[in-house]
Chains A and B, each alone.
Chain A
Amino acid sequence: MPKRNDIQSILVIGSGPIVIGQACEFDYSGTQACSVLKSEGFKVILVNSNPATIMTDPALADRTYIEPLNLEVLKAVIEKERPDAILPTLGGQTALNLAMQAHSAGILDEFGVQLIGASAKSIETAENRERFKEAMVEIGLEVAPSAIAHSLEVALSHGDSIGYPVIVRPSYILGGAGTGIAKDRDELEILAREGLETSPATEILIEKSIAGWKEYELEVMRDRADNCVVICSIENLDPMGIHTGDSITVAPAQTLTDFEYQKMRDAAFACIRRVGVETGGSNIQFAINPDDGRMIVIEMNPRVSRSSALASKATGFPIAKIAAKLAVGYCLDEIQNDITKVTPASFEPTIDYVVTKIPRWAFEKLPGSKGLLGTRMQSVGEVMAIGRTFPESLQKAIRSLEEGRNGLNGDPKELELDGLGNGELLELCGENKPGRIFAVEAAIRRGISLEEIFANTFIDPWFLQRIEEITCERKWWEERAKSGKNAVEEVTKKDFVTAKKMGFSDSQLAYFLNIPETILKAKREDLGVFPVYKTVDTCAGEFKADTPYYYATFEDESEVARSSKQKVIILGSGPNRIGQGIEFDYCCVHAAKAVKEAGFEAIMVNCNPETVSTDYDTSDRLYFEPLTPEDLGHILRAESLSCTGEGKIYGVIVSLGGQTPLKLANSIDPELVLGTSPRSIDLAEDREQWNKLCQVLEIPQAPGGTATNIEKAIEIAGEIGYPVLIRPSYVLGGRAMEIVFSDDDLERAWSEINSSGSLQREGSLAYDRPVLIDRFLEDAVEVDVDALRDNQGESIIGGVMEHVEQAGVHSGDSACAIPVQTLSREVVALIQERVVAIADALEVVGPINVQFAVKDGEAYVLEANPRASRTMPFVSKAIGCSLAKVAARLMTGSTFGELVEEGLLPKDIAIGPGGVPDLAEGLDYVSVKEAVLPFSRFPEVDSLLGPEMRSTGEVMGIDSTFGLAFAKSQSGAGSPLPDTGMIFLSLADRDKKAGIVAATKLVGMGFKLAATSGTANACMEAKLPIEIVVKKRTVPENSLDSLESDNLTDAISLISTGKISLIVNTPRGRGAMADGAYIRHAASLHGVPCLTTVSAALAACDGINSWREHGLSVRALQDIHAQGIS
């Protein structure tokens, strides 16, 4: 069946901001879908609130709406664009839920829009747990005993009758939010209450827990002629009980006989047919009882999922692309397999390697969180590694995590485990915590039996035995070390190959031999032990494949294609983590496109399966490899060996992928580093040199100094005066950054930096670098500038952003606006001049980001980073020009003049206040970026913003005024500004003056106010009507609050009963519980928007006011940037 011709225009819904459970895999799927639909001739309309995505690049759709993903916006877009169809299955749970809402609200019928990919009925069947269960029983599949509850009482009685432990699963949720295992009635009560609140339908499923069973996933596709295929099978190393997003998973399934596998395959097809997913991909999860093979269907996602992205990268089969084609009518046999180019897509990929995925968590950024894994997903990113065997892929995956481990133990970090007793170690194995795999290895090494480890972990014995092989090999090397001084001299080529085949890195082997890595490496190279590169080809070598999608292994034949082109290698950003996420992938993808267009061969190196950069279509060659010096060295060697004729490695781009590639810059030939020199990068990071530079340039800085011990730190703080900002150098996302107010505070913070050890995870840079101590400028306005400079010394300002939150809140967590809102042109001029001066001094070629704190008309420079910033995609979307693309071209030798000529930059760029071309000059609309925070998943963590970044994603609001754009950004971030109701205020003393201004505005707009006594007194002094409440029955935080009395309402119950529509809580310093943390805790628990700065409150006033005046209007980027470039 060919393409449907009854549809001309299709609305694609994106997945919104990156949140836990829904990350950049949906940019990957959405990007594939948009480009396929466009190339098929459909008019593509896209709605997505996330500016840091490739899919929202104006070129990928005909009409791109960066607008909040809510019903009101969707309706407005439908009304304006009148699409024939909506494709809701490629934007994660967000898109699916929004489409269902539109269906229920009758909007689809009203405008005659049909859902393609999955019908409302099939979505309902898959997503509604009760219906799903009934459907499965109907087709003869077994499900775990369960019952639905809409109230706590019913939930508890179900728990009692099913028998504990039970799993609580809220309906219509993503990433398992609100899901958990209750061991008894008391635990059920807590979980059920939370689950009922989390579920948009106030519905939870109480289900018999089958924790400990083996867990599998099948990625299935179906076309409208009812052809079904399995793209990939995935086996979880971590058994049932840990969310699959938080599990180490392996593809293909390892421990199923074909007999069982085919039974599962039949069940998956029966499931997709019964649910009625007519076209596209679905993910179906199964549990298998290891004792008797009993199979239970767990759940089904009637859409492209995180696992689909993994399966696509694991097999080379582009699930999202094919799903989009199937949705518009094609059948599988009408679509070509991109990789073989000769066979159709109607087949089941077969692979000849093993893929391991490991999640990455961010618990170190969420103090207070328990760090225990369970049925709700908590990881913020993941890595994938490919090896010919499981041990090899496992060790490569561990290396890819960039947590300072170069494999499965074999480094000083393992000593922590070796210090434990057997009991403690086994306990650690059994605890569902990140990194338990290291404990498992340590236990095996100690000789604890696999049976005992299995009994504690339920990790399948096959995995345990393969880990044991890693351990045995390690012991062989350790024996060598014991045998004599020159152990390394006697190691043969075969010995090296044997170890390398199991995925060992040089650093591990050197650790076993107790010699420096350089010596080991030299020996290995002498013996000629290097990896070969094999191709991911969907067919295990059966057909010829030209797609250069490579992974390294240690075997006989390498498949790297010869090439006579000039090559540019782009280093990606590795796993998503807080502080380094999709923004940098966005930059790398643009770089690949840019260098391709410039005639280079674009070579991508990355290990993150969720990204667009690891799509084999993005670059000319893809190396799916860990980003470590050793692995990169191998790639550089292989690439230079593959050069023929004029071919050579032109250079390596290290400055677009965040801190990850930057850290690798020192391991490669400086001549190969494109753009700004490593020396300049170091200069900007090195405090002494940087201070000197600022002095020479006469750019003021906040007074400060550096210290390597606490005595010195206290001395500096004494000189410059509190509050001070302390931060280690060379970290991204403000890791361990803090504002401290006193000597005691400083001592505590210092010891945290030293003792937590979490900094070590980022590559142990912290220990040999000093800690920076700066005077913290209170109430300063923070400004971020993205600029570019070419090799002729010309600079262009990309955009100057004004932060909504004052300096002190990490720029990644702060809302910001383009153009600036409160700063005078004189100040902006000053800022721009200083940016150019710094860029010149650092001899930047490519991007630079500079941050300032503006106070009393002076712009103090905070830091400068001659690399792509997190804000680059946002700025690009705001100004309608891809800064990353331009930056990549500048780094590969082009000049601004040439790029204007090519049309990559606009002609006649307006000159900004600073006298240099400014791409944001003259914009007649405002763009606001807002951060999206993960606190709803971690109710135990204080949601207070500070200098350490904790947001996982961002949204953008664009409109004609700041107020409207801010309101959109809040709505996009999931905390829409209220229009009526009661606002709870709790202001720190220093905020009271400004806070009263906000309060007065709110009262003027008809809001009621409630506050605790301190804030209430201030309001009453300003003659504002206010309801006085007590915080809760605790010791008051200051004397003004001590009016606490039992006949007053308490804040917590107001919040928990839904009487508060917005909270403004501005605390002083970093949260002790006394400092309003309980209010923020209640806010995250009950989903009440909570602003923690007065500036945000003022912005909100502005937003609410503008919204009332103008209401919603949506505008496509293509209209906004009518003269659009990019």
Chain B
Amino acid sequence: MRDRDRREAVLVLSDGSVFEGLVGGYVPDEGVCVGEIVFNTSLSGYQEIVSDPSYAGQVITFTYPHFGNYGTNDFDNESKMPRCSGVVVRDVTEIASNWRSQLNIEEWLINNKIPMITGVDTRKLTRHIRDLGALGCAFGPIESSDVKSLTELAKKDGPTDGKDLVRGVTCDRPYTLGNGPINIIAIDYGIKTTILRNLAGFATVTVVPATTKADEILSGDVFKRKANGVFLSNGPGDPGVVDYAVDTVSGLLGRVPIFGICLGHQLLARSIGAKTIKLPFGHHGGNHPVKNLSSQNIEITSQNHSYAIDQDSLANAVVTHVNLNDGVVEGIELNDAPAFSVQYHPEAGPGPHDAHYLFDQFKELIEKCSGDKKVK
């Protein structure tokens, strides 16, 4: 659809700031989209980003102005259905030009019921978020939304702090992928398809709901397989409120090799008593430099998190990776248990493949631990 043919829309943040735009994508019955506003600076990979369950409850601003250039395809979905609340873009492309494309982005958004506001000065919005931090936001067509009520909605329903968003995105029942010789149980807090694809490359992966207890995982009976390793997945929202997940991880510590990514990383830290903090505007993009402190190598990483480990509260673990932009803890290794985790996304999808070695590291850890046990 051409911009001239679109209806006008308005985006309001909880601080009362107003951004004009145009209606795009899916328009919900109530006409309004509410969520926590964040921005992502990736130049490519919009489909993976929108379908990443970690964005549940959030409205994603894309800093790259063109959206939808190469369309969408089934393979690039990071989940069965997108969980983000909406997207804010500068310009949406009508044509999808790529041999892999199956559907253009706007139809895809409509099919997936994701609202969009386009034609926004996304750079202004990004700078605003950068300066004020993550805020609640609401947007909708101008004729059905007035600024005052949108502001109220943004304030009331926008923020994700203190909300358990994991329950809304985890799987209902366990399922299995891959047929490798190693058994991995992956706890699904909102797991991305690319992570599963990577794990299933060397293991048989049983994906279990977020509320699964440690004993169920360790028993070997419940899921008909004994876990050689446990994977803690990425996921949305505040790591401070999912105590049930922390309890599970605590119960697993020292009993099985663990690898965590993103929310999984934060939960691993919480399980040894560390605290998490909310970053001003988070890390969402594909260009974050992370230093691997043992190899001294720099990895360009894909990141998507609003929370991070409070380094001062971290004990009984070593920091293995740091973010070179702001010093945020990007990776830890536990002192007393075979467990490690990273805040960023080694699986990419979207993003660079620089940290792919971490999957090998997990495999090696599992093999080493299994070998040790055999010796015992």
List residues of A whose CB falls within 8 A of some B CB: 225-227, 229, 233, 252-262, 265-266, 290-293, 331-333, 342-344, 346-354, 388-390, 460-462, 465-466, 469, 472-473, 476, 498, 534, 539-544, 555-557
Contact = CB atoms under 8 A, between A and B. Distances in A.
A350 B4 contact: no
A153 to B, nearest CB: 40
Name which of A259, A265, A290 has the most chain B CB atoms within 10 A of its CB.
A259
Given A262-B352, A266-B353, A389-B66, A291 B123 contact: no
Given A225-B297, A350-B42, A465-B94, A254 B121 contact: no
Given A353-B65, A555-B124, A556-B124, A347 B289 contact: yes
Contacts of B43: 233, 252-253, 261, 350-351
Given A389-B90, A465-B93, A347 B324 contact: yes
Contact of B64 (A255, A465, A540): A540
Nearest to A261: B44
A352 B130 contact: no
Interface in B137-195: none
B195 to A, nearest CB: 15
Contacts of A465: 93-95, 97
B63 A350 contact: yes
B130 A262 contact: no
Interface string B46-81: 011000000000000001111001100101100000
A352 B297 contact: no
Contacts of A353: 65
A461 B287 contact: no
B285 interface: yes
8 contacts: A342-B325, A348-B287, A388-B90, A469-B94, A472-B4, A498-B4, A555-B121, A556-B121
Identify the 10 closest CB pairs spanning chains A and B, nearest first. A258-B45, A258-B350, A462-B97, A557-B124, A465-B95, A540-B63, A541-B126, A555-B121, A556-B121, A258-B44
Contacts of A227: 297-298
B348 interface: yes
Contacts of A473: 4
Contacts of B270: none
Interface in B78-100: 90-91, 93-95, 97-100
Contacts of A349: 287
Q: Give the dominant DSSP class at B's interface.
A: loop
B352 A259 contact: no
B19 interface: yes
A465 B98 CA distance: 13
B99 A262 contact: no
A258 B325 contact: no
B65 A354 contact: yes
A98 B123 CA distance: 46
Contacts of B19: 556
B41 interface: yes
B124 A257 contact: no
Nearest to B299: A227
Contacts of A259: 75-76, 100, 350
Q: Give the dominant DSSP class at A's interface.
A: loop
Contacts of A332: 289, 298
B97 A255 contact: yes
A55 B240 CA distance: 57
A469 B95 CA distance: 11
A541 B127 contact: yes
Nearest to A555: B121
Contacts of A460: 97
B265 interface: no
B196 interface: no
Contacts of A229: 300
B298 A350 contact: no
B300 to A, nearest CB: 5
A556 B20 contact: yes
Interface string B278-296: 0000000111110100001
Contacts of B20: 556
Interface of B: 2-4, 19-20, 39, 41-45, 47-48, 63-66, 69-70, 73, 75-76, 90-91, 93-95, 97-100, 121-124, 126-127, 130, 285-289, 291, 296-298, 300, 324-325, 348-353
A354 B287 contact: no
A256 B65 contact: no
Contacts of A262: 348, 350-353
Contacts of A389: 65-66, 90-91
Contacts of B97: 255, 460-462, 465
Nearest to B324: A344
A346 B127 contact: no
B69 A254 contact: yes
Nearest to A389: B91
A389 to B, nearest CB: 5
A465 B1 CA distance: 12
B124 A542 contact: no
Nearest to A461: B97
Contacts of A540: 41, 63-64, 123, 126, 285
A339 to B, nearest CB: 13
Nearest to B285: A350
A460 B101 CA distance: 14
Contacts of A266: 353
A628 B297 CA distance: 47
A390 B67 CA distance: 12
B303 to A, nearest CB: 11
Contacts of B45: 257-258
B65 A388 contact: yes
B297 A542 contact: no
Contacts of B99: 290-293
B16 to A, nearest CB: 15
A291 B100 CA distance: 9
B282 to A, nearest CB: 10
A352 B325 CA distance: 19
Contacts of B95: 461-462, 465
Contacts of B297: 225-227
A538 to B, nearest CB: 9
Name which of A233, A258, A544 has the most chain B CB atoms within 10 A of its CB.
A258
Contacts of B73: 257
A350 B287 contact: yes
Nearest to A259: B76
Given A225-B296, A465-B93, 14 more contacts: A256-B70, A257-B100, A258-B44, A261-B44, A343-B324, A348-B352, A350-B42, A351-B43, A390-B66, A462-B70, A466-B93, A469-B94, A541-B127, A556-B19
A347 B288 contact: yes
Nearest to B65: A388
Nearest to A251: B43
Contacts of B47: 257
Nearest to A232: B43
A352 B93 contact: no
Contacts of B44: 252-253, 256-258, 261
A534 B41 contact: no
B65 A254 contact: no
A288 to B, nearest CB: 9
A226 B296 CA distance: 10
Nearest to A534: B123
Contact of B351 (A252, A258, A293): A258
Nearest to A288: B99
A260 to B, nearest CB: 8
B63 A541 contact: yes
A855 B374 CA distance: 104
B98 A255 contact: yes
A347 B127 CA distance: 20
A352 B287 CA distance: 14
Nearest to B90: A388
Name which of B64, B76, B99, B351 has the most chain A CB atoms within 10 A of its CB.
B99
Contacts of A257: 44-45, 47, 70, 73, 76, 98, 100
Nearest to B356: A266
B285 A542 contact: yes
Nearest to B99: A293
